[in-house]
Amino acid sequence: MNVKESIHITDVAPRDGLQNQAIHLCTADKLRLIELLVDAGLRSVEAASFVSPRAVPQMADAAELVPQVQARFPTLRTSVLVPNLKGLERAHAAGAKEIAVVLSASETMNRKNINMGLDQATEVSEQTLAAARALGLRTRAYVAVAFDCPFEGATPLDELLRLSARMHAAAADEIVIADTIGSASPGQVKERFAALRDVLPMERIAVHLHDTRGMGVANAWAALEAGVRRFDASVGGIGGCPFAPGAAGNVATEDLVLMAERSGFATGIALPGLLAAVDFAQEQLRRPLGGRAITWLRRQRDQDLQNT
State the CB neighbour count (10 A cutoff) for residue 278. Answer: 27
Strand partners, 80: 48, 99
State the CB neighbour count (10 A cutoff) for residue 192. Answer: 24
State the CB neighbour count (10 A cutoff) for residue 207. Answer: 28
Strand partners, 219: none
Q: Residue 220, SS3? A: helix
Q: Give the integer Cα–Cα distance in Å for 14 and 99.
A: 15
Q: How many helices (H) and strands (E) does the chain have?
A: 11, 12
List 167, 200, 241, 258, catalytic entry: 241
Strand partners, 46: 79
Q: How far is CA 87 from the centre of its chain?
A: 18
Is residue 241 flagged as an active site residue? Answer: yes
Q: Give the integer Cα–Cα distance in Å for 175 and 180.
A: 14
Residues marked as catalytic: 241
